[in-house]
Amino acid sequence: MQIALLGGTGDIGEGFAVRFSRDTEHDVIVGSRTAEKAANAAESYIETLDDHGVDATVADAENPEAARRGDVVILSVPAYYLSDTIEAVADNLGDAVLVSPAVGMQRDEDGLHYNRPGAGSVAQLAAEAAPAGTPVVGAFQNLAAAKLANLDADMDWDVPVTGDDPEAKATVMELADEVEGLRSLDAGGLANSTEIESLTPLLINLAANNDGLHDLGVKFW
């Protein structure tokens, strides 16, 4: 399977690239708005993987080309770039599975808060922006990017997954389960993404307010 990381040059993109490359048989394509940034990031991820004894290829391309090649296309961009990013690749998505890991947040004096989009959630916003026929799945919103990108760090986290297309959701759940230390959970339809995205600012607030806690994820039991 080809996994395209749109905006894959950022923190969360790095985490996806190195974990998928190390733990799965799938091919990773780092996408960016410029070919140069994509190539630089891919080179850096290959070095990181090599440092950890993993001989992996990481491809690179501009976002539209990455989207064209992806079976799974992950929107590894901040929430406020989401619609523009989808628009720029819409003609190339076909029936790829589009994955939304982004969360909109805003800070006030108490800490971070979930900034709920009018669509209900970022995942639903992605579904509104996506072309008809491209299924959208919400996943990976609660992963601490720095820890995900650190191959020396052990994770033991749950990944709640939402979607209205059962096959697309199953594809993403299997992908998550292939990553060491992640367990996918079925969280129902795409409209249930709201409460999953809301969890991310809570994780950040908890890390900010409690000594010894940082880069938090979540486990349900």
- The contact set with a copy of itself (CB under 8 A) reads 108-111, 113-114, 156, 160, 185-192, 194-196, 198-199, 201-203, 205-206, 208-210, 213, 216-221
48 Cβ neighbours under 8 A, 6+ residues apart: 14, 18, 151
Find the shortest distance in angstroms from Cβ 71 to a copy of itself: 24
Residue with smaller CB distance to a copy of itself, 94 or 189: 189
**CB neighbour class for 33 (10 Å; exposed up to 12, middle 13-18, buried from 19):** middle
Residue with smaller CB distance to a copy of itself, 35 or 199: 199
Residue with smaller CB distance to a copy of itself, 135 or 201: 201
Find the shortest distance in angstroms from Cβ 192 to a copy of itself: 5
125 conformational bin, left if phi > 0, alpha if psi -120 to 50, beta if neither: alpha
Find the shortest distance in angstroms from Cβ 101 to a copy of itself: 16
List the end-to-end C-alpha distance of the chain, in Å, as a whole number. Answer: 31
User: Tokens standing for 96?
Assistant: 């790829």
Find the shortest distance in angstroms from Cβ 14 to a copy of itself: 22
In whole angstroms, what is the distance from residue 202 CA to residue 18 CA?
Answer: 26
User: Tokens standing for 216?
Assistant: 């938090």
Find the shortest distance in angstroms from Cβ 210 to a copy of itself: 5
Residue with smaller CB distance to a copy of itself, 25 or 154: 154
In whole angstroms, what is the distance from residue 103 CA to residue 170 CA?
Answer: 22
Residue with smaller CB distance to a copy of itself, 31 or 160: 160
In whole angstroms, what is the distance from residue 33 CA to residue 42 CA?
Answer: 14
Residue with smaller CB distance to a copy of itself, 20 or 114: 114
| CB contact at 8 A, 58 and 42 | yes
